[in-house]
Amino acid sequence: MTIRRIVQYPDPILKEKAKTVTKFNERLHKLLDDMAETMYDAPGVGLAAPQVGILKRVIVVDVGEGLIEMVNPEIVEKSGEQISPPEGCLSIPNLLGEVRRYNRIKVVGQDRYGNPMEVVAEGYLSRAFQHEIDHLNGILFIDVAERVFRPEEQEEADQ
């Protein structure tokens, strides 16, 4: 496994739409392994392939409940609403945002072998999935945030 370089904003690849994965092979497996290692090393709770310079519809997520890999993810059901906690992004260091997200979603996609899979996510996991799927569509949290701020501004507001 290899820790890959995380693409930083304003690199234009972050605004491009990722392509559907059609080949489920060793190259995809290596990408997934590298993405997980990169996410944990950063450290983060999610990573999308465009964030490591690969325009493929591939994400990894781990909010503390174990690693979830998903290829070609698509949100098929959504309900409720949440706006906290503030979101950050490995590709946009030193900024946070208040982003309105669905509280509960159902995501369908494929595993690393091309087998169908489904995840029902609520709360923080739902937020992480939506954030990463946005990356696959060229959408950054700063594009959809109701408020963007620096972490020290949050610390001052909490005092």
Residue 156 assigned ligand-binding role: no
Length of the chain: 159
Say whether 150 sits in a helix, a strand or coil.
coil
Residues tagged active-site? 132
**Could you give the CA distance from residue 126 to residue 136 in angstroms, rounded to a whole number?**
16
Residue type for 27, please?
R
Query: Can you tell me which residue has the tokens 């325009």?
Result: 55
Q: Is 29 annotated as a binding residue?
A: no
User: How far is the C-alpha of 82 from the C-alpha of 87, rounded, in Å?
Assistant: 12
Is position 89 annotated in a ligand binding site?
yes
Binding residues: 89, 131, 135
Binding site for Fe cation: what residues are annotated? 89, 131, 135
